[in-house]
Amino acid sequence: MITFIVTTYNLEDCLLRRCIESIVSQGLAHDEYEIIVVDDESDTSPQHVVNEFVRKADISLLVQKHARQGAARNLALQHARGEWIQFVDGDDYLFAHSIPPLLKLTQDNELDLLSFGFRKVYDITAIKEPADKQQQNSHNEAKASISITSGNDYMLSHNLFGSCCMQIFRRSILDDPKYGHPLRFTENIYIEDEEFITKLVWRAQRMAATNIPVYAYYQRPGSTVHSRSREHTDELFHNYFVVLKRLSDFEREVADKPHDGLTRKIRFFAVDILRRALRESDWRSRWKEAASQLQRLKLYPIPQANYSWKYRLFRLLTRNRTGQYILWHIEKRQEK
């Protein structure tokens, strides 16, 4: 069984309905999946939308006092019964018939975690399919293209996208005692995915990745990720460093285990924070503050490493104001 965990907060009915419909329409048998919807204390309960699907699927609604997405996912994990977990944000959806072949892939290869591709979508109502539908539904092509590795080794050679929605994984690795504390989301912050998915991938002893598009990532105006108010930006940057500090502490906790991939991930996250600072209108003050906080974590100046030519060039340009101005110019051009 796979548990689909859907989080929602003040979403339009049509978006949540589209999300649930995309799960129900995957082609899984009734006893092969469950859907847990968690409402983060919306102004209007989504119960009526959930009720539309009670005869089609094993679906339930949990309601929590407003505490953001991390807490909502943690609540759902307490109730999940599936061997496998898939997170889906309520305004996103899954492409048609994409999950069954991936589940077979995980089972055939005894994987702990399988990462997959996504596509950005802009339509508010229609469930669309990617242009390469034939590739999406091709289990044989997916099987031929994957390579199995540990999560740590994967992070050593790949940039890890900081979202928990682009993977299916075994629920058992969250609570495996050999990793110490159970893995859950940090609550009451933004970008909680970044910490969770990094630790989750690091725990995976057998993982694989495919670029087959499974997840439809809706570009919703006004969503958290698109908010640009000064207050929200300040909070985001504060949260970046909350997460980075927690990952740095985690790196020290597992120093007696293979962690070079984890180290690379942390360093690239530090680079990403600086890049985000460059995109702000007050980029000079943002950069200065970010560099100061990174220095406390021994991540600035950017540590020397032969990860890629882009990493080496970024590191070189951060070392003086002229280089920082060049980086700012590059980021501005990429935003256009």
- Look at residue 128 in the predicted model and tell me its pLDDT: 67
The DSSP secondary structure of 108-124, one letter per residue, reads HTT-SEEEEEEEEE--S
How far separated are the first and last CA of the chain, in Å rounded?
44
**Weakly modelled stretches of the chain, pLDDT under 70:** 128-145, 221-228, 335-336
CB 212 within 8 Å of CB 136: yes
CA-nearest of 82, 76, 73 to 2 is 82
- Look at residue 72 in the predicted model and tell me its pLDDT: 97
- Look at residue 228 in the predicted model and tell me its pLDDT: 65
CB 59 within 8 Å of CB 34: yes
Question: What digits encode the pLDDT tens for the residues 221-273?
Answer: 655 555 568 898 999 999 999 999 999 999 999 999 999 999 999 999 999 99
**And the tokens for 24?**
């129900």
**And the tokens for 268?**
């690239």
Measured CA to CA, the distance from residue 322 to residue 122 in angstroms comes to: 38
pTM of the model: 0.91
CATH architecture of 2-224: Alpha-Beta Complex (3.90)
Measured CA to CA, the distance from residue 70 to residue 151 in angstroms comes to: 22
CB 16 within 8 Å of CB 93: no
- Look at residue 124 in the predicted model and tell me its pLDDT: 79
**And the tokens for 276?**
């985000």
Measured CA to CA, the distance from residue 114 to residue 166 in angstroms comes to: 8
CB 57 within 8 Å of CB 33: yes
